[in-house]
Structure 1
Amino acid sequence: MKTLCVQYTTTAAFSPVNQANIARIVMELRELNHPGIMYSTWLLPDGKTFMHFDQFANEEAHQVLISLASFKRFDEELWASGLEAEPVLEQVALVASTEKFYNS
């Protein structure tokens, strides 16, 4: 299992574009229905800081996500947008949860 937490801050003007790009990723993932990918994104109260929490059954599943056309568009536009705070990516380990994850 691979679990990633990524947080970054866009400009206020770019936040709606980023939200739309993320919605396209989710739509493509739903159509794909890959059993090894759990993808979620959260918007913090400032309206421009995003936190992605992604879980993958394995590295191959992670590669599926980053190869999606919607993800490539999201990534390209995000980096071109003039971020207020660049992404901080951390691989995290599950300690305990009420939810069922890949390694629980």
Structure 2
Amino acid sequence: MIIVKVTYTVKPNFVNKNKENIQLFMEDFQKLNTNDFRYTIYSCEDGKTFVHLSHYKNEGIQKQLLEVPSFISFQKQRDESKLELVPTIETMRLVSASMNIFDE
């Protein structure tokens, strides 16, 4: 399993556009109709910091998601928006969970 956390802060005038772009790629992710990944996005109290938490069953599904055109467009627009804080990417390891993340 691969777990990645990405945190970044957009400028206030880009918050709504960022949310729109997130919705677009999440709709495409949902169309994949697979149980091989979990992808959640949170906004922090300041309203402009976002945290993406992804769980991938394997490298294959991670590569597939990273190549979705709407996700690539989201990343490009986010990065070109002159972020307040550039993305920090953390790879994490699962210690425990209250449920099975992936059916084995």
TM-score with structure 2 setting the length = 0.94
**Bigger shift: 26-35 or 38-47?**
26-35
**Bigger shift: 55-64 or 27-36?**
27-36
Distance in 2, Cα, partners of 1:4 & 1:13 = 27
**Unaligned stretches of 5+ residues in structure 1:** none
Corresponding residue of 1:76: 76
Corresponding residue of 2:11: 11
Structure 1 residues 1-80: aligned runs within 5 Å: 1-80=1-80
Say which SS state the counterpart of residue 14 (structure 1) adopts: helix
The amino acid of 2:31's aligned partner reads E
Identical aligned residues as a percent: 29
1:85 aligns with 2:91: no
Say which SS state the counterpart of residue 12 (structure 2) adopts: coil
Corresponding residue of 1:94: 94
Distance in 1, Cα, partners of 2:103 & 2:96 = 10
1:84 Cα deviation from its structure 2 partner: 0.2
1:34 Cα deviation from its structure 2 partner: 2.4
Moved over 6 A (4+): none
The amino acid of 1:50's aligned partner reads F
**Unaligned stretches of 5+ residues in structure 2:** none
The amino acid of 1:99's aligned partner reads M
